[in-house]
Amino acid sequence: MSAQSEFSLIQHYFEQLTSPRDDVLLGIGDDCALLQCPADHVIAVSIDTLVEGIHFFADVSPETLGHKSLAVGLSDLAAMGATPAWFTLALTLPEINTDWLQGFSQGLAKLAQQHNIHLVGGDTTRGPLTISIQVHGFVKAENALKRSGAKLGDMIYVTGTLGDAGAALQHKLERWNGGKLSASDIHTLQQRLEQPTPRVTIGKELIDIASSAIDISDGLVADLGHILEKSQVGARLDLSKLPLSTVMSKVETKIAKQLALQSGDDYELCFTVPSQHFAIMEQDFKHCTRIGMITDDDGLYFLNDSDELIELKGTGYDHFK
């Protein structure tokens, strides 16, 4: 951005945004940041871009947007079992709006603080509202939870509950009237869409337990599909096991299950666990649910309510068209 005053304004909002870290030898203010990676670790890097009108609605609050912009990157670090360390922020703004900047930076700072991730640089330009965040985390190379490690006989788990964010989205797009849900139920779902919780702690705890992992941004079927493809295995899901939130349990079952299977934006983790760790999963991972098993089938199948095995793709049912 050209004008010096606008530039100092940005610096005012972002330079002191997050707490310093010892491994940041030089942060915002020079041509590059200088960063120290701990010995024996590698850096896990991921970037995500959110564009107004495509990835978020123009009416979303700036605090919420600040949260979500960072949450999606933290979720990628979580899915690798990495520990968050630094991030950079490329901000494209249609105008300098101090209220917006205040809100956005607050939402961003709050989540950054929770995960001790530090803003070390960025870029600021003028144009249609677009937020791009690159996150950096540490992991030992041999510990990284990749998509490619699932093996025949592993169990498939997910964290949290599925379908909440998708339900909020369908409601917002007016493709679904919400059935019998109350205004407060809808609000709960909206929170899940707008302020997802990246599962960073669980991701790290899974390092010695999971054989593969992915975060669910595009929906369980699509994202588990990536594990299957990279690991060259198949899977069977037990639809009766899909974890639904209290709110989604009130929704007509077939709608709730379709959302849990196919809608994205929940940012839960999906991961696989070999048999020697089944016991510890049952004991210590109360917020994770076993939903199926890795098989040598060609692709993804599920058991329906009558215990029939059905191939998932091509079932073609869509309650939102």
Where along the sequence are the contacts to Mg ion (CB under 5 A)? Answer: 123
Which structure tokens are listed for 265? 């934006």
Nearer to ligand ADP, 108 or 200 (CB): 108
124 interacts with, out of Mg ion, ligand ADP, none, CB within 5 to 8 A per kind: ligand ADP
Using CB under 6 A as the criterion, which residues of the chain lie in contact with ligand ADP when the complex forms?
Answer: 10, 14, 28-31, 89, 91, 119, 121-124
- Across 164-226, the runs of DSSP E, i.e. the strands, are 212-215
20 interacts with, out of ligand ADP, Mg ion, none, CB within 5 to 8 A per kind: none
Phi-psi region of 178 (alpha: psi -120 to 50; beta: other; left: phi over 0): left
d(CA 127, CA 106): 22
User: Measured between alpha carbons, how far is residue 38 from residues 78, 122, 143, 221, 305 in Å?
Assistant: 18, 23, 15, 36, 50
Supply the DSSP symbol for 211. Answer: S
Q: What's the farthest any 2 CA atoms get from each other in the chain? A: 67
- Closest distance of CB 90 from ligand ADP, Å: 7
For residue 47, the one-letter residue type is I
197 interacts with, out of Mg ion, ligand ADP, none, CB within 5 to 8 A per kind: none
Residue keyed to tokens 């870029």: 123
294 interacts with, out of ligand ADP, Mg ion, none, CB within 5 to 8 A per kind: none
Cβ atoms 274, 150 nearer than 8 A: no
- Closest distance of CB 38 from ligand ADP, Å: 23
d(CA 89, CA 108): 10
Quote the distance between the C-alpha of residue 187 and its chain's center: 20
311 interacts with, out of Mg ion, ligand ADP, none, CB within 5 to 8 A per kind: none
Q: Which residues pair with 88 in a beta bridge?
A: 121, 134
Cβ atoms 13, 62 nearer than 8 A: no
70 interacts with, out of Mg ion, ligand ADP, none, CB within 5 to 8 A per kind: none
Nearer to ligand ADP, 93 or 202 (CB): 93
Quote the distance between the C-alpha of residue 175 and its chain's center: 24
Q: Residue 61, class by beta-carbon neighbours within 10 Å (0-12 exposed, 13-18 middle, 19+ buried)?
A: middle
Nearer to ligand ADP, 122 or 299 (CB): 122
Nearer to ligand ADP, 130 or 191 (CB): 130
Beta-sheet strand order (sheet of 42-51): 42-51, 130-139, 83-93, 118-126
Nearer to ligand ADP, 2 or 246 (CB): 2
- Closest distance of CB 166 from ligand ADP, Å: 31
- Closest distance of CB 119 from ligand ADP, Å: 6
Nearer to ligand ADP, 88 or 143 (CB): 88
28 interacts with, out of ligand ADP, Mg ion, none, CB within 5 to 8 A per kind: ligand ADP
Nearer to ligand ADP, 112 or 269 (CB): 112
Nearer to Mg ion, 15 or 123 (CB): 123
- Closest distance of CB 27 from ligand ADP, Å: 8
- Closest distance of CB 122 from Mg ion, Å: 8
- Closest distance of CB 262 from Mg ion, Å: 40
Which residue sits closest to Mg ion, CB atoms considered? 123
- Closest distance of CB 91 from ligand ADP, Å: 4
Element (H, E) at 270: strand 269-273
Which structure tokens are listed for 291? 């939903």
